[in-house]
Amino acid sequence: MPPHAWTVHNPTGSRRVIVTKELPGSRWLHILTAADCRVEVCTSDTALTVDEIAGQIGDSCDGVIGQLTEDWSAELFAILAAAGAKAYSNYAVGYNNVDVNGATAVGIPVGNTPGVLTETTAEMAVALTFSAGRRICEADRFMRDGKYHGWLPSLFMGKRFHGETVGIVGAGRIGAAYGRMMVEGHKMNLVYFDLYPNEALEQYVSAYSAFIQARGEEPVTCRRIATIEELLALSDIVSLHTVLDDSTHHLINAERLAAMKPDAILINSSRGPIIDEAALVAHCRTHPQFTAGLDVFEDEPAMKPGLADLENVVIVPHIASASKWTREGMATLAAANVAAILQGYPLWSGDDVLPFLSGDVPQAAPSIVNAVELELHEKGT
Ligand code: DGY
């Protein structure tokens, strides 16, 4: 494989920052160069290996913006710290690819990019829901293959969403946004499974229900469900929005797929390994009325054997956050994280990211996931 290509911006900058893939927009680069950074950007599309990243870090580096496709292990953070680095940001809201404890152990703050993906990702989950439930991709292929010979009463019959039950697993920012879209857009009843109650979501649905009832429409409900089994059995649509960790790996397995309605829709725009993908392939083969919409895959970019042959599965290449606004916003937040840390500004926790997206950048790192742990680490507690 030929060596990866790199572009250097602001070569005389006094702080050396490595960016392991080209990022969209230009605000992120202005933020870094305004912080006197020399910015080295890998312009190849193929993912860098750990050895290639370590090689690029060399013996002097101040910070890195890395990708969810890279394994940021404790060993890599030790290499980064030995090169003098003080900052790392993932170009993603999810950070299951990052050993945060390993970073904390060597005193490196880890940034992520929350708040700018919420609606865009939820919108893609909605798009996948409709594509799967109304068989859009299958019908599109049918048209392109010249198989449409005239209107038929039962051609590509799919599901009606209005008034049905939608279940979300993980009612954080993105899950709740998806839930609201399905409730408001399609008057669905919402059930959710989460370790914590989402009172704001429950109140929102209750107020919305009162609003539509006052106009003579049927009420809608929102309920937190105690077990995942109960949620799966109740839901016509299940959308996964939980983080990936040991407790959610293969959360949806053969047994739980069997507990779902035979014509349910399963959507995953979080992380691939939350579904046992081989079990999903087997389930979709034996349940042709069951449909799935997947943005993420267990062994990304590979798919489990048989998945691509299934007509009842819609598959897209991890693009749920791929709107221009969101991807540029993610770049801005990742750069602001790194630039702020290198300038010694305070570390924020991602609750207020909008001021970073236009105008003057606040003197703070917008979202650092181990800010509290770093403080304890520095105090030696
Ligand atoms: C994330 O940010 O975690 C998404 O998976 C990619 O945008």
Query: pLDDT tens track of the chain, all 381 residues?
Result: 668 999 999 999 999 999 999 999 999 999 999 999 999 999 998 999 999 999 999 999 999 999 999 999 999 999 999 999 999 999 999 999 999 999 999 999 999 999 999 999 999 999 999 999 999 999 999 999 999 999 999 999 999 999 999 999 999 999 999 999 999 999 999 999 999 999 999 999 999 999 999 999 999 999 999 999 999 999 999 999 999 999 999 999 999 999 999 999 999 999 999 999 999 999 999 999 999 999 999 999 999 999 999 999 999 999 999 999 999 999 999 999 999 999 999 999 999 999 999 999 999 999 999 999 999 998 887
Whether 373 is catalytic is: no
Residue that is last in its domain, among 315, 343, 369: 315
> How much is the pLDDT for 281?
98
Burial class (CB in 10 A: 0-12, 13-18, 19+), 253: middle
170 shares its domain with 190:
yes
134 shares its domain with 279:
yes
63 shares its domain with 200:
no
198 shares its domain with 340:
no
For a substitution probing ligand 1, which of 21, 65, 67, 68 has the most ligand atoms within 8 Å of its CB?
68
Q: Residues enclosing ligand 1, CB less than 6 A?
A: 68, 92-94, 117, 321
154 shares its domain with 296:
yes
User: Which residue among the candidates 4, 134, 186, 271 is catalytic per the annotation?
Assistant: 271
Whether 1 is covered by a domain: the verdict is no
What backbone torsions phi and psi does residue 218 show, to the nearest 5 degrees? -65, 145
Residue 175's contacts (CB-CB under 8 Å, 6 or more residues apart) are 122, 168, 169, 192, 194, 239, 241, 242
> How much is the pLDDT for 1?
64
126 shares its domain with 221:
yes
Residue that is last in its domain, among 262, 281, 315: 315
Separation of alpha carbons 88 and 111, rounded Å = 6
Burial class (CB in 10 A: 0-12, 13-18, 19+), 316: middle
Separation of alpha carbons 363 and 178, rounded Å = 32
150 shares its domain with 257:
yes
Sign of the CA dihedral with 92 first, then 93, 98, and 104 last:
positive
For a substitution probing ligand 1, which of 96, 97, 117, 324 has the most ligand atoms within 8 Å of its CB?
117
Q: What is the domain extent for residue 106?
A: 6-116+323-379
How many domains is the chain partitioned into structurally? Answer: 2
Asked if residues 270 and 243 have their Cβ atoms less than 8 Å apart, the reply is: yes
CATH number for position 84: 3.40.50.720
Asked if residues 329 and 302 have their Cβ atoms less than 8 Å apart, the reply is: no
339 shares its domain with 257:
no
Neighbours of 22 (CB within 10 A): 12
Asked if residues 44 and 65 have their Cβ atoms less than 8 Å apart, the reply is: no
241 shares its domain with 106:
no
- DSSP β-bridge partners for residue 39: 9, 17
DSSP string, 133-177: HTTHHHHHHHHHTT---S--TTTT-----TT-EEEEE--SHHHHH
What backbone torsions phi and psi does residue 191 show, to the nearest 5 degrees? -125, 145
> How much is the pLDDT for 380?
82
Q: What is the arrangement of strands in the sheet containing 15-19, beginning at the earlier edge strand? A: 6-9, 37-42, 15-19, 63-66, 87-90, 110-111
User: CA dist 357 to 225, 267, 320, 376, Å?
Assistant: 36, 30, 20, 30
